[in-house]
Amino acid sequence: MEIVKNLWNEIVGFFGVNQFLSILETNEFDKFLSYDGIVALIIPIIPLLLVLELFLGFIYKKPQTKVYKVIFLIYLFNRIVGRFISIGMVTLCIGLLEPLALLETSNTWYWFIYGYIVWEFAHFIYHFLAHKVRLFWCLHATHHSPEEMNLSVSHAHFFLEGPYADFIRTSICIFLGVNPIMLFTIMFIDGTYGAFIHVGENLMKDARLGFLNKLILTPSHHRVHHSKNPLYLDTNYCNLLNFWDRIFGTYQEEDTSIAIEYGVTREIKSGNFIDVYFGEIINLCKDVFYAPGIINKFKYIFYPPGWNHSGNHKTAKMIRSDYLNS
């Protein structure tokens, strides 16, 4: 019975219905009008859409079983690791940096707009570094390894990427005055939308969302980001607001005449959990071990993916530049 109970708790936890069920049990339905109640209603939406997307995959005979299998193993592995390693990076950063904040904000609409702009900037920095520093790419590459796009991809992460992302984003936000209550609200909104933009073609064929495609980053933009097409490499780092990508020259709209190819540029066994989860780290360790001299070893760690001590570089920036100039 203990196994059944644990399995039930895992299912309830995955679908995020704990709070929803608690409100139903108390019959205090007016709580659904509160902030906590609204959160309880929103959290299950993405997992339910994921199940619908999987179901439609079988209906359309595009089940993407290899992707789902590997991501399920990643999810399971991260859950097991999470039972032994819990890194409260957000709480740590708040405790250390809140006394050093450059300004003080209140929970008003205009400070919320400020907070969201700061959050998107912080997300851009974390995401940009995750693509431009090979050590950080090793933490992020697992998320880019699936060769199809669907909502389950939002669960494909190396277990240390979360703490790394939280350190960068929380540190910048707290230091620039985003107060913790506002920060957690923004994180909830951004986390929900950040999962939604991984929606696949089984559920949403045209992901440009009409006129919104010009105003925000849509699932179409994020499909571009996950592409290994030369035109699309290292673009669209933001989550919702697109102006940081526009400012830094990394904004790229989808060209519907180009078929998107998902995944990473290296040869990968996309159905192999070990290669998907640890492959980049293994390759980095090999490059560092065989690199001549200590300077080259450090360059392999901190230079962009694709850098090579021989001068035969194949970085994303060079591949995209060659494509645009051809």
Question: Tens digits of per-residue pLDDT, 188-199?
Answer: 999 999 999 999
Q: Looking at the domain assignment, is residue 52 inside a domain? A: no
Q: What angle do CA 150, 76, 45 make, to 5 degrees?
A: 45
CA 21 to chain centre: 28
Query: 197: domain range?
Result: 70-273
pLDDT band, very low/low/confident/very high, at 40 (cuts 50, 70, 90)? confident
Q: Looking at the domain assignment, is residue 64 inside a domain? A: no
Q: Looking at the domain assignment, is residue 163 inside a domain? A: yes
- DSSP letter for 241, please: B
Q: Looking at the domain assignment, is residue 92 inside a domain? A: yes
Q: How many domains is the chain built from?
A: 1
Q: Looking at the domain assignment, is residue 125 inside a domain? A: yes
- Give per-residue pLDDT as tens, 87-133: 789 999 999 999 999 999 999 999 999 999 999 999 999 999 999 99
Q: Looking at the domain assignment, is residue 317 inside a domain? A: no
Quick one: pLDDT at residue 164?
Answer: 94
Task: List, as own/partner pairs, every contact residues 221-227 make where C-beta atoms lie below 8 angstroms and the sequence separation is at least 24, other chains included.
Answer: 221/197, 221/252, 221/253, 221/254, 222/197, 222/198, 223/149, 223/254, 223/260, 223/262, 224/252, 224/253, 224/254, 224/260, 226/144, 226/146, 226/149, 226/153, 226/260, 226/262, 227/260, 227/261, 227/262
Q: Looking at the domain assignment, is residue 10 inside a domain? A: no
Q: Looking at the domain assignment, is residue 107 inside a domain? A: yes
Quick one: pLDDT at residue 47?
Answer: 85
Answer whether residue 153 shows pLDDT above 70: yes
